[in-house]
Amino acid sequence: MAGSPIPHPVDRHVGALIRAHRRAAGVSQEDLAKAIGLTFQQVQKYETGENRISASKLVEVARTLDVPIAALFDGLDATTEGGDSLIARFTALRDSNPFMQAAVDLPEPIRAELFRLATVYATEDTTAP
């Protein structure tokens, strides 16, 4: 069969969470790769779900990023066969990391208002003149 197989939604989900936690920790792909004995290209492939990550490497990633192993599976029940989870879709956005950091740094009332506004804009009919 020509071409590479489509990554499994679970692999994309776990990879997206690795990317999110790595970015939140301020760790580069190169630094994570060095810490777990891989190349940064392999970390890239894990983060996109292109390559599956072994259980032992998941443990090393979690330890390096100082997160519980379960954090790399958060929201997995929201992943549907053939589709990406919300976290995978969000962290794939180019500006997701600065947005997440800004949201975390905001006082709770302002963050709540920002989330409310985002929800309003997302549901607004943008096709109306």
pLDDT in tens, 46-82: 998 899 999 999 999 999 999 999 989 887 775 455 5
Residue 129 lies in a domain: no
Q: 30 Cβ partners below 8 Å, 6+ apart?
A: 40
Query: Quick one: tokens of 43?
Result: 């970390």
∠ CA 121-127-129 to the nearest 5 degrees? 105
Backbone phi and psi for residue 4, each to the nearest 5 degrees, phi listed first = -90, 150
CATH at 81: 1.10.260.40
At 1, is the pLDDT very low, low, confident or very high (cuts 50, 70, 90)?
A: very low
The reply to whether 22 and 71 lie within a common domain is: yes
Domain around 104: 95-124
Residue 16 lies in a domain: yes
Residue range 75-104, pLDDT digits in tens: 777 545 555 667 777 777 788 878 888 888
Total domains present in the chain: 2
Name the DSSP letter for residue 78.
Answer: G
